[in-house]
Amino acid sequence: MEDIHQERNYGFLEYWIKYWRTLIMWWFRRPIKNRKDLPFLLNILGLKGEGAEIGVSCGAYSKILLDNSRLSKLHMIDPWISQPQEIYLDETNVEQKEHDDRYMHVTRLFENEGDRCHIMRMTSEEAAKEIPDNSLDFVYIDANHSYEASSQDIRLWWPKMKKGGIFSGHDYTNGGPYNFGVKRAVDEFISREGENLYVIKHKAPSWYLVKSS
């Protein structure tokens, strides 16, 4: 389970150090250093509309996004439902009681965000039907990491993006103990769409791009 207590608001000086570091990296078209810097890139690019996070779990990254970006609304999408291990082998695929506890934790954590936080307890496919095309400034995919599910999430959420928005996700890797296929799905998508991909090198790397058309 993610420890949300490790995440915090930045102090004034630390915030601006991160802001200017991100600005310099973007100016030279270099990947940012950490996914926690993505909200700063959103601010630099003037992206203040709606965003979506697919795969919320305990809400740790949701908090980073809401605390440090100027997004007007974040759609937080997660079914919080357990699946058979033979169908979905992943450390985040916990028992149903744990999923229910995580959902309740998230609702309490963001209860004071008002309309800026939209918690959607449903699948990615169900949520995509409720979000209009060309309506989002930001998408971050961190749900089922299999190749099939990652490919589906990319297909579902790419049309939701506005031109100039940031399309991104977590765990840009293949294989491992849970047989991830995120990198394969993203690479195929990039080859098909011809966008410029940036990879945040980390133990669990993230990927992102700025939609060009």
pLDDT digit string, tens, across residues 102-123: 999 999 999 999 999 999 999 9
How many angstroms separate the CA atoms of 38 and 25, rounded?
12
pLDDT score for 7: 45
Residue 147: pLDDT over 90: yes
pLDDT value of residue 6: 42
Q: What residues does each domain of the chain span?
A: 9-210
Q: Which CATH superfamily is domain 9-210 in?
A: Vaccinia Virus protein VP39 (3.40.50.150)
**pLDDT for residue 89:** 85
Greater confidence (157 vs 83) lies with: 157
The answer to whether 17 touches 25, Cβ cutoff 8 Å, is no
The answer to whether 22 and 41 are in contact (CB under 8 A) is yes
Per-residue pLDDT for 207 more than 70? yes
> In the predicted model, what is the mean pLDDT of the chain?
93
Mean pLDDT of 184-211: 96
- Predicted pLDDT at 5: 36
Tokens representing residue 175 in the block? 């294989």
Span 6-61, pLDDT tens digits:
444 677 788 878 888 889 988 888 899 999 999 999 999 999 999 999 999 999 99
User: How distant is the alpha carbon of residue 99 from its chain centre?
Assistant: 19
Tokens of 159: 């049309």
